[in-house]
Amino acid sequence: MSSESSRRQSRRGRLPALLATAVVGLLLIGTGLALRGSQDRAVRVAIAGTETALAPTATATLTPTASPTPGPSPTPTLTPTGTIPASATPGPTPVPPMSIRVDTGSYPTPSTPPSTQIPPPVEPVDIPDGVVNVMLLGSDKRADDPGFRTDTIIVVSINTIENSVNMLSIPRDIMVYVPGWTMAKINTAYQRGESTGWRGGGAGLLKETLLYNFGIRVDYYALVDISSFQDIVNTLDGVEVPVDCALTGYVLREPRKSIRDFATYEEWTAYTADEDNWMEYTLPVGVHQLDGYEALWYARYRYGSSDFDRAFRQQQVLRAILTRARTLGLVDAGKIPGLWQQYSDLVQTDMGLGNMLQFGPVAANIDDIAINTYVVTPDLLTAWYDLAIEQQVFLLNPEGVASLMQAAMNPPAQNYLIRNTASVEVRNGTVTDRLDEVAADRIERLGLRTTATGAADSTRYRTTVIYDFTGREKTSQLSALQRSLRVADADVIIQPDPNRTVDYVVILGQNYTSCTRSINVPDAPRPTDGPGTGTPSPDSTVTPDAGLLPELPPTLPVETPAAALPENPPAPTP
């Protein structure tokens, strides 16, 4: 037996812990009992002092106060009727020291002057019976960096009664109030809780932060670091990921080494610091088999993209891991007890074996269309440049976020899924290999039951067409298909068929563009020395300008110009 085969078998022996780390949020963790502590709070937080001019609605008594000293205990150092001093650091538009009364109700008050307005807490989202919320975290923890961050935050809502799952990605650059501390990027809350001895540690403080800012009650958490994620994918012998937008960046040259190949961490950092060990790499549109290193690169890469796009790719990889695990029969409830023995060594979590056993049936039986994905996107945020950390961050727009939270925390019931879905078959009428699978992945995220069937009767279709065999007036499903695939009404062919086996057939043409996911991320206006500098109000808008991300270049190869192609072939049979 080769050494590589031995390593693979050894890794597979550690599979449950590894799988539980990445798929935990989707399927392998949870419980039938949602914890419903009475955490409804009527809390009002006043505007804190800032380095720059405050919003005009702020009122305050201008009396100097002493700065409180933060301590390691989660108990706040300020009383609910205390004061928050202004920062001593001069800003472009200095303001006098301010005394502002703060009433945080049952939430801890800030221990550090915030750089922007502290919003009031939101009302907790109503959670249906049988729904469990699991916080899935990915950290960038490294041996030389005690101040690690949780750059991946995905809240997975699991309906244990209806066998449905919602995934909500929260980008790392959102600025929130971290109870007992200050306004900070959400990816720093976990480490703050660890370093200050918060009850429940970092996970406890991050749970409280999500409740305060989003109204999300989290029941459990699981945290995985970079090395464990790669182990998960390698244990599965890789995963297949449908790539709809080409991604270009730098990767380590083959043969790649891992941190385990070095005796010390310093040797590893010297290896990665050597530019000769890197090469430019493009992952083109198509379906690709990715190993652990490649899957991590695809999920985490940000340059030329954004955190919002990265959140989408992370969800793609999680679904790919789930698909592979189910193919290998690794989510069967009967295997969980034996696999559990090695779980605690490889993942940080507050769940037990009982949770895993209760949730096993959902993992094995969930339908692909019952997994819905959500992302907090820029249209729900206000871009702002924080002088304190010298970074662009995003502030929440409460009304839009509230609607998203309500949808994301309520996985759909089966009768709703049945009533509101349709069957779609996708055929590839282009020369791009497996493009039908890439398009099918997009369509399935619309909640439509989709099957990719390979090549059409020709690879020379000029335009993408949709055949509608339902015989109904234009449905919401058809409208969603057209919007997603960018198909005009003129390219929808109505052919009612009462004996149909599918509701719609999509044939991809040369005009199909798979990469339509570019998200406009506005640049925050930089503070100036003139008037008007200060904290934006949460409902202010930022007009996109030259700072927008450019569209990714076209990636579909076209052997013959579209104008030279013949008309589309005759209609297919349903």
What whole-number distance in Å separates Cα of residue 394 and Cα of residue 152? 16
The answer to whether the beta carbons of residues 196 and 178 sit under 8 Å apart is no
Per-residue H/E/C for 252-294: ECCCCCCHHHCCCHHHHHHHHHCHHHEEEEEECCEEEEECHHH
- Residue 564 is classified by DSSP as G
| Residue carrying structure tokens 């008007």 | 532
Alpha-carbon torsion (41, 349, 225, 191), positive or negative: positive
What are residue 374's DSSP bridge partners?
168
Helices (H), 328-413: 336-340, 353-365, 398-408
pLDDT of amino acid 329:
77
pLDDT of amino acid 467:
97
pLDDT of amino acid 565:
44
pLDDT of amino acid 80:
37
Q: Give the pTM.
A: 0.72
Q: By C-alpha distance, which of 398, 329, 328 is closest to 125?
A: 398
Alpha-carbon torsion (235, 236, 237, 243), positive or negative: negative
Provide block-wise average pLDDT over 10 residues at a time, the chain (574 residues): 48 43 37 27 30 32 38 39 40 42 68 89 91 90 71 91 90 94 95 93 96 95 85 89 94 91 91 95 96 93 80 90 82 63 67 68 68 90 91 91 93 76 95 96 91 95 96 91 95 95 96 81 59 41 29 32 47 64
pLDDT of amino acid 451:
95
Phi and psi angles of residue 99, each rounded to the nearest 5 degrees, phi first: -115, 115
Tokens of 144: 């030389």
Tokens of 229: 């994620």
CB neighbour burial string for 215-246, b if at least 16 within 10 angstroms, e if fewer: bbbbbbbbbbbbbbbbbbbbbbebbebbbbbb
